[in-house]
Amino acid sequence: MTSTPSSLPPSGPLAPLILASKSPARTKILTEAGIPHRILVSAVDEDAVVEQHPDAGPAETALLLARAKAEAVASLPEADGALVLGCDSVFEFGGEALGKPYTPEVAAERLRAMSGRAGILHTGHWLVDCRDGVLSSSGELASAGVEFTEMSDGEIAAYVATGEPLHCAGSFTIDGLGGAFLARVDGDPHTVVGLSVSTLRTLLTRTGVRFTDFWAAAVVR
């Protein structure tokens, strides 16, 4: 039987949380949620992970990448005694997985196709518990529907020229300039940004850690 937050036993010293991501949006979410953390970026080859799982759908791919990042960082000496969180986002559009476009041409092509249509943003979360010298881990997927407004060619060109969509899953953001082109989000908006706080709470609960304990730690610091 899984413990609920209210039934967890009294917790001991709080383990530090490591975010295995260099995403400013994710660290901002954690900070605003009152979760002290440090960043340790993995050297995972995302393309290689995807190639190793050719039959994985967009949702499974997001979870696979999150797990790869978390486990890579958890294997480092710096992660000893910590909780390591890996996240990765994949945008599902027309049944295909869309990662980061990297080039203006690809970003513009995608945005033209997405104009006035909808897709699903999947964010995988994987938490590795590095306490007590024995690694244990679990993951959860969070997904949210995203509906776009109609975008003119001029608006798409202007958005791509800012450079913002080039390094974002699906070629857009919700918490930046791209928010102007989102008509509706069906689900947790944090999922679209790249880290669902409620999903993290679920994962922490499985390790016996209360989400609210981090608030107390933040006050002490």
**Closest CA relative to residue 137, chosen from 76, 78, 206:** 206
Report the distance separating Cα 219 and Cα 34, nearest Å: 9
Tokens at residue 94, please? 């027309």
Residue 134 parent element (H or E): none
Report the distance separating Cα 171 and Cα 2, nearest Å: 38
Q: Decide if 26 contacts 87 (C-beta within 8 A).
A: yes
Q: What angle do CA 44, 50, 55 make, to 5 degrees?
A: 155
Beta-bridge partner residues of 139 = 126
Active site residues: 88
